[in-house]
Amino acid sequence: MIVGIDLGTTNSLVAYFTEEGPKIIPNRLGKNITPSVVSVDEEGNVYVGETARERMSLYPDSVAMTFKRSMGTDRDYVLSGKKFKAEELSAMVLRALKEDAESYLGEEVTEAVISVPAYFDDKRRKATKRAGELAGLKVERMISEPTAAAVAYGLYDKTKDTRFLVFDLGGGTFDVSILELYHNILEVRAVAGDNYLGGEDFTQVMEKLFLQKAKLQLQNLSEKEQVRLRRNAEKAKCTISEKEKVTISLLCKEETKEAEITYKEYADACEDLLMKIREPVKKSLADAGLKLGDIDEILLIGGATRLGVVRDFLIHLFRKFPDTTLNPDETVALGAAIQAAMKERREEVKEVILTDVCSFTLGTEVVVEYEEGKFEDGRFCPIIERNTVIPASHTERLYTVRDNQEKVRVRVLQGESRFAKNNLYLGEMEIKVPKAPKGQESIDVTYTYDINSLLEVEVKVVSTGVTQKMIIKGQDNQMTDEEIAKRMEELAYLKIQPRDYEENRLVLLRAERMYEESLGERRQKLDRYITAFEAALKRGEHDEIRELREELNDFLEEEDEY
């Protein structure tokens, strides 16, 4: 079974294809969305999703979130004294999704199509694939989130030629893609974006407004108080568009601080973020050679597109109402499931040819002559430029720059800077050339880039015909089967929690968190509910546990207000 997975910054989902179309698979709590949050306690117990998020309020040093922003980097996350890379934390989320899918489908899940932001570079894409491998999944194909969204909107059986602008604002990343459907070909024309812009940034704006109005300094708050503030700011951000104003309260040093924030105040404070959204939109249109008037439909995906400030800005920017017929949180996962069905060659799916583009320019480092006899090294020579439709193969001829030069080094780079040092290094190779006066020997460098983000580099000495090839998978971007097995063994001390007890753990953690935030009679009531529920857990009577859990949940729903 091949499933489709949306591995998001804030939330993740898994879906599969049925005779009726793609369908989201509920997690162990019966919900479609699993928060991309991981917690590891002192005993090595792993918590994923809502349970991990609840632990944030009680044990903030044991929880990691928004780690997708660090995919492909060397950053370490320390949870309860243990170090993890972003791809290892992502693997824990993927493993939880895999288990949920297997439990729901009643069969083993061995392979997945995983979505990635269109603007993810080679290093981040390979880190995502490595996360899948660590989770025990075969990941032969990744699909860009806007392409998945376009497929999910039913484009795979549309007949009318259409141009789409897909606006994807998730929890931590932002993509704009221009796609064109003609006949049965869905072509990505251009992509642009920002890997460090998303809904989390809009939450931070709400936090700052509260701190200003409550006359508080973030650094003076305890770690637990900061977590509470973030949670309350997130709630306020999501509800303010439905109201003219919201009130945020925070229990701080045994005193409740409150601040009222109006929609206009929040919208004004978000102005800088909204301006950052405008630039990738302009860039993608320019790269595609189109104007806004050439776009037939605008599709919104990503949970942050629900925000009123974002919707109002987009209507003003695009001068038309976007298509919001599908749930923006679920669209990418549904598209990934359709892609999985295409990979399985399911009869229910009309085959569509999906083309993609290079998100970043691929090139090499060269020496340039800027004046007669004066040379400057470290410059970047583009070979396959960004937004080139892939698969693609381009050749550039390069010449020797020194007399009697014996070899040429080809450094493979990805990026947009004129200077090689500012671009991402992917690998290198050297080839020998015959001795000759400078400029008389040359090599042809051919880059061939395919839809699976694999780059073949071929270097041919023009005078001799000697050819050398290599497949670039990116420095530190590929683990062998042995390395994966070794790392999985190293992580074996981690204990994934049984699915059956997830609801009980979640309600207890939520109750403990609210107990810490409460005072007086409210705290005493909570204590009575928690004590009764813990006693039922010890007795092990399933009906009694379910009844008391529901009572405690109802009480928490009534009391969990800010």
Per annotation, catalytic residue among 88, 168, 502, 503 = 168
Percent of the chain's residues with pLDDT above 70: 91
Residues 424, 427: Cα–Cα separation, whole Å: 9
User: Is the separation of the CB atoms in 191 and 177 below 8 Å?
Assistant: yes
Complete DSSP assignment for 202-214 = HHHHHHHHHHHHH
How does pLDDT run across 302-332, given as a tens digit for each residue? 889 999 999 999 999 888 888 878 899 999 9
The helix-helix angle for 542-559 and 520-539 (nearest 10°) equals 160
Residue 562 has pLDDT above 50, yes or no: no
Per annotation, catalytic residue among 6, 54, 87, 99 = 6
Please give the radius of gyration of the chain, using alpha carbons only, rounded to the nearest integer.
Answer: 26
Residues 72, 224: Cα–Cα separation, whole Å: 29
Model-level pTM greater than 0.85? no
How does pLDDT run across 249-306, given as a tens digit for each residue? 998 887 889 999 999 999 999 999 999 999 899 989 988 899 988 998 899 988 899 9
User: Is the separation of the CB atoms in 127 and 453 below 8 Å?
Assistant: no
Residue ranges in 215-325 assigned as alpha helix (H):
223-239, 263-269, 271-288, 308-318
What is the CA angle 405-411-412, rounded to 5? Answer: 145
Residue 399 has pLDDT above 60, yes or no: yes
At residue 96, the 3 state secondary structure works out as helix
Tell me if residue 107 is catalytic. Answer: no
- Give me the residue label for tokens 């972003």: 86
Level-2 CATH architecture, domain 2-197+272-357: 2-Layer Sandwich (3.30)
Give me the pLDDT at residue 153, please: 80
Structure-token pair, residue 373: 């006899």
Tell me if residue 6 is catalytic. Answer: yes
Percent of the chain's residues with pLDDT above 90: 46
Per annotation, catalytic residue among 50, 87, 121, 145 = 145
| Residue ranges per structural domain of the chain | 2-197+272-357, 362-472, 499-559
User: Is the separation of the CB atoms in 165 and 299 below 8 Å?
Assistant: yes
Amino acid letter for position 332: V
Residues 464, 181: Cα–Cα separation, whole Å: 45
- 3-state SS of 336-362 is HHHHHHHHCCCCCCCCCEEEEECCCCE
Residue 474 has pLDDT above 80, yes or no: no
Q: Please report which confidence band the pLDDT of residue 404 belongs to, taking 50, 70 and 90 as the band edges.
A: very high
Give me the pLDDT at residue 557, please: 84
Are the folds of 2-197+272-357 and 362-472 the same?
Answer: no
Level-2 CATH architecture, domain 362-472: Sandwich (2.60)
Residues 81, 272: Cα–Cα separation, whole Å: 37
User: Is the separation of the CB atoms in 71 and 134 below 8 Å?
Assistant: no
Q: Which residues partner with 469 through β-bridges?
A: 458
- Average of pLDDT values for 326-353? 83
Residues 235, 31: Cα–Cα separation, whole Å: 19
Q: Please report which confidence band the pLDDT of residue 354 belongs to, taking 50, 70 and 90 as the band edges.
A: low
Tell me if residue 145 is catalytic. Answer: yes
Per annotation, catalytic residue among 50, 54, 68, 121 = 68
| C-alpha 152, offset from chain centre | 18
Tell me if residue 74 is catalytic. Answer: no
